[in-house]
Amino acid sequence: MLAELYHLHHQTHLEDIPFWLDLAEKYGDPILELGCGTGRVSLPLLHQGFKVTGVDRDSEMLGILKNELESNDKFEYTEQDFTSLSLPKQFPLIIMPCNTYSTLKDEDRKSVLEIVENQLEEKGTFAFSMPNPAWMVDLPSEGEPELEEIFVYPKSGNAVQVSSAWTNDGNIIKVLWHYDQMLPEGNVKRFTAETEHQLIAPSKYFDELEEYGFKINTYGDFDQTTYSPDSEYLIIVAEK
């Protein structure tokens, strides 16, 4: 059920979709999405006619994506861990949206970059987004839960309250998403999703990419404004 709640929570967060569509227009398809989840980004790309291969290791997430898909010969998906991925073709564009890259530990980033190197065409592009670590590092040690939004769970008709909280130990920001389903007679059933973002200096990301021969373009938001330490996001478009 947690995957369903996650999907319902995030499917209306579409502020970054024009950015990924612009990349697809510029760099072409087929597109490989690492960590496609329930298809929040893959589906809009498909609807615009792009060919997409989605990779995720979460079978529940992929099950929701499968239910969202109409018959479409432009989409392929595979249940694999993208840190050990092997596919029989290469792509001009590989993307990792949804703040996934900053959750990777050092060894996993190295694995992903090796895979990107193998799966990317000779003049290909690798693009990903994350919360800007330059300002996250200064967050207090703990953030009190804040109500984010309320939506209705279609299967029950019950309201679900979404709240978020976080902790900062100086190395990792742990984010907790609480989904509280409001049951009859005032009872509450809570489901919690947890994400850990590594607090790594942006320069380390740049150095790692440059070791693989990438030319790096950085943005601070999905309108492609110039990146700065105060930007909300760190978005990297790395070209071979």
Model confidence over 96-115: pLDDT tens digits?
999 999 999 999 999 999 99
Helix ranges (DSSP H) in the chain: 2-10, 17-27, 42-47, 59-68, 106-119, 133-136, 202-211
Cβ atoms 31, 94 nearer than 8 A? yes
pLDDT of 71 strictly over 80: no
> How far is it, in rounded angstroms, from Cα 12 to Cα 74?
23
Mean pLDDT of 135-150: 92
Please give the C-alpha separations between residue 8 and each of 59, 61, 160, 230, in angstroms, as whole numbers: 17, 12, 10, 30
Q: Give the per-residue pLDDT at 76.
A: 87
Mean pLDDT of 210-214: 96
Going by pLDDT thresholds of 50, 70 and 90, the confidence category of residue 12 is confident
Q: Give the per-residue pLDDT at 72.
A: 62
CB atoms within 10 A of CB 159: 13
* Pairing state between β 75-79 and 172-182: unpaired
* DSSP type of residue 179: E
pLDDT of 222 strictly over 70: yes
pLDDT tens, 190-203?
999 999 999 999 99
Mean pLDDT of 215-240: 97
Cβ atoms 93, 31 nearer than 8 A? yes
The distance from CA 101 to its chain's CA centroid, rounded to whole angstroms, is 7
pLDDT of 73 strictly over 70: no
pLDDT of 184 strictly over 80: yes
